[in-house]
């Protein structure tokens, strides 16, 4: 680099999507310290405007997905039609125990978010197991709503936002984790279902 040239370094990973301009002229991107995004100022002074090129389609996709989610939620509220399940029965179906599902959720949360993720998964699992039969609709709306709120955060604070990308925040990530773990726990078999099956089997054997 020629003497007198200056660099503007941004604490972001190098990515070809980053753009920077000074006035009407684009700045040449460079790599700083092997990983950091930077731009060559070439000795000039002025205001630099930085942006991330994929940001617009990224935000558009998130916004469309959020609108579709709201529309789907609205349809579930106004629709009263019941559709019969015509799917063929499963072959050699096996029931995965609740303990296995809780273990998978805790391990996955730990790998993604450390001990804090394990704590979030434990609290989410306990609340879903406690309330899914007492207030099933409220649990489902809460699990889905956590993901919707996290999506809204990514729409409002995208890549290149002056306030910083939402991915640098902890709260949206934990909200997504609540949705994933909550959906996983909701898929586990209810304890009441296993009790009814055992009682019927016991009844038949008694009659014999």
Place of tokens 């609205």: 74
109 and 168 belong to one structural domain: yes
Q: DSSP 3-state assignment of 50?
A: strand
pLDDT at position 196, please? 43
Q: Which of 19-23, 113-117, 160-164 has the lowest mean pLDDT?
A: 160-164
Question: In this structure, is residue 25 part of a structural domain?
Answer: yes
| 57-112 confidence digits (pLDDT tens) | 877 887 888 788 788 878 777 766 666 667 776 666 667 778 888 888 889 888 88
109 domain-assigned: yes
Residue 87 included in any domain: no
Q: Is residue 88 part of a domain?
A: no
Distance CA 165, CA 151 (A): 12
Please report, for residues 2, 21, 22, 49, the alpha-carbon distance to residue 42 in angstroms, rounded to integers and kept in the order given. Answer: 9, 12, 11, 16
Is 91 part of a structural domain of the chain? no
**The pLDDT of residue 91:** 66
Q: Do residue 36 and residue 137 come from a single domain?
A: no
Residue 86, phi then psi, degrees to nearest 5: -105, 10
State the pLDDT at residue 119. Answer: 92
Tokens of 92: 């050699």
| Structure-model confidence comparison of residues 206 and 16, the more confident one | 16
Q: Does residue 186 fall inside a structural domain?
A: yes
Give one DSSP letter per residue of 49-104, joined into a string. EEEETTHHHHHHHHHHHHHHHHHHHHHHHH--------PPPPSS--PPPHHHHHHH
Q: Are residues 125 and 160 in the same domain?
A: yes
**Cα angle 26, 27, 31; round to 5:** 145
pLDDT for 102 equals 85
Domain count, the chain: 2
The answer, yes or no, to whether residue 201 has pLDDT greater than 60, is: no
14 within domain boundaries: yes
**Cβ distance 124 to 102 under 8 Å?**
no
User: How many residues belong to the chain?
Assistant: 208
Residue scoring higher pLDDT (152 or 85): 152
Q: 172 in a domain, yes or no? A: yes
pLDDT digit string, tens, across residues 18-37: 888 887 778 888 888 888 88
**Mean pLDDT (the chain, rounded):** 78
Reference 125, options 193, 188, 176, 172; nearest CA is 188
Picking from 43, 15, 38, the residue whose alpha carbon sits closest to that of residue 28 is 38
- Same domain as 59, residue 46: no
Host domain of residue 35: 7-52
Q: How many Cα atoms occupy the beta-carbon half-sphere of 13 within 13 Å?
A: 4
The answer on 67 and 35 residing in a single domain is: no
């Amino acid at each position: 680099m020629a003497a007198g040239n200056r660099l503007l370094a941004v604490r972001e990973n190098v990515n070809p999507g980053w753009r920077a301009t000074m006035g009407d002229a684009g700045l040449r991107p460079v790599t700083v310290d092997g990983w950091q995004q930077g731009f060559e100022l070439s000795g000039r002074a002025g205001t630099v405007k930085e942006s991330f090129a994929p940001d617009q389609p990224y935000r558009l996709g998130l916004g469309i997905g959020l609108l579709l989610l709201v529309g789907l939620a609205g349809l579930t509220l106004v629709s009263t039609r019941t559709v019969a399940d015509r799917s063929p029965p499963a072959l050699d179906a096996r029931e995965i125990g609740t303990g296995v599902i809780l273990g998978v959720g805790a391990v996955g949360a730990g790998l993604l978010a450390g001990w804090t993720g394990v704590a979030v998964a434990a609290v989410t699992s306990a609340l879903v197991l406690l309330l899914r039969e007492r207030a099933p609709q409220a649990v489902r709306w809460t699990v889905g709503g956590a993901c919707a709120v996290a999506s809204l955060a990514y729409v409002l604070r995208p890549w290149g936002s002056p306030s910083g990308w939402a991915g640098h925040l902890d709260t949206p990530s934990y909200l997504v984790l609540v949705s994933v773990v909550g959906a996983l726990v909701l898929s586990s078999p209810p304890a009441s279902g296993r009790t009814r099956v055992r009682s019927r089997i016991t009844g038949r054997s008694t009659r014999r």
